[in-house]
Chain A
Amino acid sequence: MTYIPISPQERDAMLKTVGVKTLDDLFEAIPAKRRFPKLDLPPALTEMEAAAHLADMASSNENVRQDLISFLGAGAYNHYVPSVVDHMLRRGEFYTAYTPYQPEISQGTLQAIFEYQSLMTNLTGMEVSNASHYDGATATAEAVNLAYAQYRGKRKKIVMSPSVNPQYRAVIRTYSQGMGLTEVGDEAGNHEDGPEVLMSLIDEATMLVVVQYPDFFGRIYDYKKLIDTAHEKGALVCVVANPTALILLKTPGEMGADIVVGEAQPFGIPLWYGGPYLGFFTTKKSYVHKMAGRLVGETVDVRGNRSYVLTLTAREQHIKRERATSNICTNQGLLALGCSVYMSVLGRQGLQEVANLCYQKAHYAAAELSKIDGFGLCHPEPFFHEFVLCTPKPAGEVNQYLLDHGVLGGYDLSTDYPDMQNHLLVAVTEMNSRDEIDTLVALLKEM
């Protein structure tokens, strides 16, 4: 199969215009003995054959819609995506356009990003949103970059909550390898502590405090005191938030957070085996010049039409080069659009329904599971749609037993927290029917 729309006759005419005889003649700058290697790849398939092959591969997976009942979350959530979202994303005018470098013929993308920025600031209670980052983990790492740039390297300490998603913490460690930072607070073993323990770690050398909301274990805390303490010492606070929870909960903005980031996959993006997802990044207006990533601002064109452009571009890599806060030069454009369509088509009330269903079903599940002998909730704090279930056997064994019965029980926390052997992180969304929850409960009763 080829997508090259040039006939042999046209090719020959073009070669003549160029002044060479064959296509191969175009490559004489390439070292002769390395030229035209034979690639050991499977032979080309037609579209019909490729479609069948991919369908085979896809169907050899067990998926959470047709094959498995899932209570797995831990950073990626199974939510319903209204049909209209993908219909809009399939518009070639959106998905085959590039970065809106030419605003006159990119107003669709630009206005969509502006609206995305508006939706995210209103959701988080913050003043400014960028056009998005790769995912929640890298958005959190960019918060570290912002704080580092804000203090111009003069403060080098991060106070990290141990209940921030372990993969996010791992990404921050990778990203900050060249910065000489010290990180305190997330030593193994103190994961049972609440945020007050972090307060004593904040000092005048601290550039950033990072907490998650609800935290990785599903717990809801009001971080206001922690944030006030950080501000007294001059440190910034980044809250990693779940967007579905923010529909219901007090905003981090209201608590005084300086940066609110997170994974917007729950808002209209399929699980897709982990990506691509959508990292949102919101902050206060005073930090906008230190924020990485694209930014769209309102303006007018020469004809007096309200319109939108990429703005403050001089702080980005293509102009600032090695002095830029980050090297990022894309956003997750199409997925930011998907997120906006999701939020728009559900709207204020639809989103509240989603959040309420998550909350109600998770609390029903938690209540029923706690009634089983040997099981119970590990934490007393309020939670939203995810909680830690203490199990009588190691969570890994519980999960294997459940999988044998077609259920993904949840996330085995000992993967990241070695002393949490009997701790299962259970997520419940609007996708889980009462029947599914009852099935889980019945299976665990019989175990």
Chain B
Amino acid sequence: MNAPSNLKYTKSDEWFDPASGAAGITDYAQSQLSDIVFVEILVDEGEEVTVGKAIASVESVKASAEIYAPAAGKVSAVNKGLSEKPETLNSDPYGEGWMIKIENGAAGEVMDSAAYEKYCEGRTH
């Protein structure tokens, strides 16, 4: 699994980029869900989100998940193209698979990549 070191991670498997404000789901999350066939972003541009608010709903062939805001702030952008190509979440979760951008987002309880990798390893065994 892959967890870039410039990002922060939540226990519920979202990532947050403090530099750009972008957020999405981690590589670990997409591999657990397997083939993702549906994404719905639940917030609109301009909306204020709090940490833990449901920002997206994802369905794969076998599972479904709610995605929660890793940071609080104003939603400055929503990845509208994602719903057309939900498989992007499998192929590029940290790039094209970003879900929303949170302006001046104040992160909630997050880990760095090393801690997150350890956290994931603990769950697979």
Residues of chain A touching chain B, judged by Cβ–Cβ distance below 8 Å, are 152, 289, 312-315, 319-320, 323
Separation of A125 and B63 alpha carbons in the complex (Å): 32
Separation of A319 and B58 alpha carbons in the complex (Å): 12
**Contact B37 A312, beta carbon cutoff 8 Å:** yes
**Contact A314 B63, beta carbon cutoff 8 Å:** yes
Report the minimum CB–CB distance from B53 to chain A (whole Å): 13
Report the minimum CB–CB distance from A367 to chain B (whole Å): 53
Known A-B contacts A289-B59, A323-B57; the reply to A314 vs B64 at CB < 8 A is: yes
Report the minimum CB–CB distance from B25 to chain A (whole Å): 15
Selected from B37, B60, B66, the residue in CB contact (under 8 A) with A323 is B66
0 or 1 for each of B52-70: is its CB under 8 Å from A? (1 = yes): 0000010111111010000
Separation of A289 and B60 alpha carbons in the complex (Å): 12
Separation of A320 and B59 alpha carbons in the complex (Å): 9
Chain A residues with CB under 8 A of B60: 314
Chain A residues with CB under 8 A of B66: 323
Sort chain B's interface into a size bin.
Answer: 10 to 19
Interface flag for B13 (CB, 8 Å): no
**Contact B38 A315, beta carbon cutoff 8 Å:** yes
Chain A residues with CB under 8 A of B59: 289, 312, 314-315, 320
| Chain A residue nearest to B38 in the complex (CB) | A289
Separation of A319 and B61 alpha carbons in the complex (Å): 10
**Which A-B residue pairs are the 6 nearest by beta carbons?**
A314-B59, A314-B64, A320-B64, A289-B38, A319-B64, A315-B59
Separation of A320 and B66 alpha carbons in the complex (Å): 10
Separation of A323 and B64 alpha carbons in the complex (Å): 10
Interface flag for B40 (CB, 8 Å): yes
Number of A-B contacts (CB under 8 A): 28
Interface flag for B114 (CB, 8 Å): no
Interface flag for B42 (CB, 8 Å): yes
Separation of A392 and B34 alpha carbons in the complex (Å): 69
**Contact A319 B62, beta carbon cutoff 8 Å:** yes
Given contacts A314-B37, A314-B38, A319-B63, 5 further A-B contacts (CB under 8 A): A289-B38, A314-B59, A314-B63, A315-B38, A320-B59
Where chain B touches its partner, the secondary structure class is strand
Separation of A132 and B39 alpha carbons in the complex (Å): 25
Chain B residues with CB under 8 A of A314: 37-38, 59-64
Separation of A312 and B57 alpha carbons in the complex (Å): 14
Separation of A152 and B41 alpha carbons in the complex (Å): 11
| Chain A residue nearest to B33 in the complex (CB) | A314
Report the minimum CB–CB distance from A299 to chain B (whole Å): 11
Could you list some 9 contacts between A and B, CB below 8 A?
A: A289-B38, A312-B38, A313-B62, A314-B37, A314-B38, A314-B60, A319-B64, A323-B57, A323-B64
| Chain B residue nearest to A289 in the complex (CB) | B38
Separation of A32 and B44 alpha carbons in the complex (Å): 59
> Which B35-53 residues have a C-beta within 8 angstroms of A?
37-38, 40, 42
Separation of A315 and B62 alpha carbons in the complex (Å): 10
**Contact A315 B42, beta carbon cutoff 8 Å:** no
Report the minimum CB–CB distance from A444 to chain B (whole Å): 57
Chain B residues with CB under 8 A of A320: 59, 64
Separation of A313 and B61 alpha carbons in the complex (Å): 7
**Contact A289 B64, beta carbon cutoff 8 Å:** no
| Chain B residue nearest to A309 in the complex (CB) | B61
Chain A residues with CB under 8 A of B63: 314, 319
| Chain A residue nearest to B62 in the complex (CB) | A314
Report the minimum CB–CB distance from B35 to chain A (whole Å): 10
Report the minimum CB–CB distance from B123 to chain A (whole Å): 20
| Chain B residue nearest to A286 in the complex (CB) | B83
Chain B residues with CB under 8 A of A319: 62-64
0 or 1 for each of B4-40: is its CB under 8 Å from A? (1 = yes): 0000000000000000000000000000000001101
Chain B residues with CB under 8 A of A313: 61-62
Chain B residues with CB under 8 A of A289: 38, 40, 59
Report the minimum CB–CB distance from B121 to chain A (whole Å): 26
Report the minimum CB–CB distance from B57 to chain A (whole Å): 7
Report the minimum CB–CB distance from B125 to chain A (whole Å): 25
**Contact A315 B40, beta carbon cutoff 8 Å:** no
Report the minimum CB–CB distance from A320 to chain B (whole Å): 5
| Chain A residue nearest to B54 in the complex (CB) | A323
Report the minimum CB–CB distance from B117 to chain A (whole Å): 27
| Chain A residue nearest to B59 in the complex (CB) | A314
Report the minimum CB–CB distance from B119 to chain A (whole Å): 25
Chain B CB count within 10 A is highest, among A289, A314, A315, for: A314
| Chain A residue nearest to B58 in the complex (CB) | A314
| Chain A residue nearest to B37 in the complex (CB) | A312
Separation of A422 and B57 alpha carbons in the complex (Å): 53
Separation of A314 and B36 alpha carbons in the complex (Å): 10
Separation of A320 and B64 alpha carbons in the complex (Å): 6
Chain B residues with CB under 8 A of A152: 42
Separation of A131 and B93 alpha carbons in the complex (Å): 34
Chain A residues with CB under 8 A of B38: 289, 312, 314-315
Separation of A146 and B62 alpha carbons in the complex (Å): 22
